[in-house]
Every structure is written in C-alpha cells, then in structure tokens.
Amino acid sequence: METKHKIELLGMDIQALEKYLLSLGEPKFRASQIYTWIYRKQVSSFYEMSDIPKELRARLDESAQISIPRVLKQRVSQDGTRKFLMEMNDKKKVETVVIPQSRDKHTRYSLCISTQVGCPVGCAFCATGQSGFQRNLAAYEMVGQVLGSRRELAKRLKTPDETLITNIVYMGMGEPMLNYEAMVESIRILNDHRGINIGQRHITVSTAGDVKGIERLAGEDLQVTLAISLHASNDELRSQLIPLNRKYPLHELMQAVKYYVDQTHRRVTFEYIMLDDVNIALEDAQALIKLVKPVLANVNLIPYNEVSGLEFRKPSSSAVSRFFGWLKEGGLEVTLREERGADIEAACGQLSARRDRKVR
C-alpha cells in the first residue's frame, strides 16, 4: 500500500507553522498552540494536544508528523553522563550525550548533539571519523535530539521541568560547518524564546577548522561560542591528525578565528586533545602559546579518551599537569576538562553509534 507523504512539522519556525495551518483553513493561533506542544512539551502525537479540536487532530495526523527521534538505547556513566543512541526516520542512528553540570541532585544538563551520521573529516584519533560518512542531518533532526533527550531525561528523572537542558554543544558526530545551513537553522529554532529557548550564549559550535564556515558564522549575527578543535600547533602534525588542515592550514585558520572575534567580540575556545608522546612536549606548548596568545581565546585541554583499535594513548596525569603548567606560565587562559562519560564511550572522540559496544 502506498503511504501518503506527510509534512514534517518539527523544525518549522512559528511563521512556517502559521503558513501551514492557514493552508488547512485554520486560524493562526492554532500554530502557537501546536508550537508550544512540540517545542515546550516535546509531544509528537497530535492526539495528545488537548486544546486542539478533535477533528483537527485527526486531520493533522493524516497529513503531518512530528519526528522526535526515538532513544533506542542509553548508557549511564558513573558520573551521571548519559549517552543516547537515537534513531531517525530512515533508521539511521546517531549518538547524543547528556552531561550533568554538577553532581547536585537538581543539576542542569548540557547536551552534545550530532550534525551528521558519521563524519567525512576522518580525524585520526576519532571513533566517528573512522566509521565513515553516511549523510547530513536535517535541522529538525538536530532539534529532535534536544527534544528526544529532554523527553527521556524527564521520564528518567520523573520531572516535567522544561529547563533541564540549558546548554547545547554542536560537538557530537559530524563536522557542523559541513552541514552549515541546517546547523544554523537548528540554532535559530533552539534559541526561539517561544519554544525551546536556549540562549545563544549557551550554544557552542565546534569545528575541526573549516575556515569557510567560520567566516560565514561570523556574519550571522549570532552570539554563539565558537570552539576550534586545534590539537596541534604545527601544520605537519595537525595535517596528520585532522586531514582538513591540508585544505585550511593553521595560518588561514587563525586568520578566520581573528575575524570571528573581531565581528562578534566573543571569546573563542581552542580544544586541545592531549595525546601521549604526540602533542604534549615542551616545544608543542611553546608553539601553542605563540599561536593562541594574540587571540581573545582560552585553551581547553582534554586528556585523550582511548578508542579501541586506534594507536593513541592517554597521557599520565603528571604529563597532563606539566603541559597545563607550561601553558599557564606562558600566559594562556587554560582549563583542563574534567573527564566525563569515558566509561560509556561518550567522551570526546569516542562516539560511533555502534549498538554492540561493550563497557570496557
């Protein structure tokens, strides 16, 4: 039997939803009601929309859908971090990570969302990069990860609190700048105060160094935080770790970052994964200081989370402190990221959307 093509309402902004309701001969205010059900209450069944007339609910159900992704599986780390395996309409799967901001019972959460199924960048240390690229996610699928996570979290924690998730980082599977339009569209939906209402300053876009994307983002009139996955302070090593560096070498990347800071007046974060015996020698620290010091930025050090099958190793805690100290003495704003979710392979670079992975 041929299935009727349904219109996807998730991902529509209020204007698009109004237009759709008007096309059905319905008054505009119905759009606001449905908007609230979708983005405030993460409801995906029209039959649950109690203030919508029954006849309209049935009509909507025939012609439209709200595809909040299903959480197929979740793993909970000892530190409270949760990794959700989410399934899209076409059965493609991505991982989304929910990170508690503290150990307090009433803590808020940050959410690390994916922008692509797999990733075409192929960073040498990253599980996602090793699994290849399948497709871009649509804006509604990015927004859907937020709603699906909020729904699941509310269920698990037994709370209807809409403000459980306060921060979003585009740092899951995929390179956000290679799915630029959908990524920006999703930010605008997440930011809308009538809906999910995440402040722009609570949203971080992380890139492996896509210069074109950084320059475009600088012109969007958005106050989001830009994070750059740097991981090396010379081109030779960086090209080995992040193949995108061959297209956009360090001097071009740094120019784009300075341009972003000039345009937005926002402090940029440089992420630096610390790989034992690879990028944490004294000369790496010195080159890093030289590179980053002229920019309004801080450096976030992340001790590597080992991925089975890859040769990279996590540095000892004394090597981590030594490198941290060099950067501090060199005058950089530097933070050491507390390790979250490594026991469930939810930490940076460990996402791969494989259902069969076991806790090590």
Nearer to ligand SF4, 100 or 349 (CB): 349
Smallest distance, ligand SF4 to C-beta of residue 133, A: 9
34 HSE (CA, 13 A, CB side): 33
Closest listed residue to residue 13, CA positions, set 201, 143, 137:
143
Residue closer to ligand SF4 (CB basis): 119 or 299: 119
Q: Which is nearer to ligand SF4, 11 or 129 (by Cβ)? A: 129
Helix (H, G, I), strand (E, B) or coil at 197: coil
Q: Which x/- pattern, by CB under 6 A, does the window 147-186 give for ligand SF4? A: --------------------------xxx-----------
Which of 69, 129, 144, 315 touches ligand SF4 by CB under 6 A? 129
Which positions are catalytic? 95, 348
Q: Provide, rounded to whole angstroms, the least separation between the CB of residue 195 and ligand SF4.
A: 27
The contact mask relative to ligand SF4 for 25-64 (x = CB under 6 A, - = no) is ----------------------------------------
40 conformational bin, left if phi > 0, alpha if psi -120 to 50, beta if neither:
alpha
Buried/exposed code over 151-175 (b: 16+ C-beta within 10 A; e: otherwise): bbbbeeeeeeeeebbebbbbbbbbb
Residue with Cβ nearer ligand SF4 (138 or 177): 177
Q: How far apart are alpha carbons 313 and 38 in whole angstroms?
A: 44
Neighbours of 266 (CB within 10 A): 18
Of 49-57, 96-104, 119-127, 330-338, the segment contacting ligand SF4 by CB under 6 A is 119-127
CA dist 353 and 54 (Å) reads 39
3-state SS, residue 135: strand
Find the binder of ligand SF4 among 128, 191, 350, 352 (CB under 6 A): 128
Q: How far apart (Å, rounded) are the C-alpha atoms in residues 132 and 119?
A: 6
195 touches ligand SF4 (CB under 6 A): no
Give the x-and-dash track for 198-237 against ligand SF4 (CB under 6 A).
----------x-----------------------------
Q: For tokens 């001969």, what's the residue? A: 25
Closest to ligand SF4 by CB, 175 or 284: 175
Write down the residue that tokens 């493609």 correspond to. 92
Q: Which helix (H) or strand (E) holds 118?
A: strand 116-118
Can you tell me which of 69, 100, 122, 315 binds ligand SF4, judged by CB under 6 A? 122
Q: Provide the sign of the torsion angle of the four alpha carbons 292, 114, 104, 194, taken in this order.
A: positive
> Which of these ranges, 23-31, 74-82, 125-133, 297-305, lies near ligand SF4 under the rule CB under 6 A?
125-133
CB of 122 to ligand SF4, least distance (A): 6
Tokens encoding 295:
């920019």
Tokens 């808020």 found at: 108
Question: Taking the complex as a whole, how short is the minimal distance between the CB of residue 360 and ligand SF4, in angstroms?
Answer: 20
Interface residues toward ligand SF4, by CB under 6 A: 119, 121-123, 126, 128-129, 173-175, 208, 349
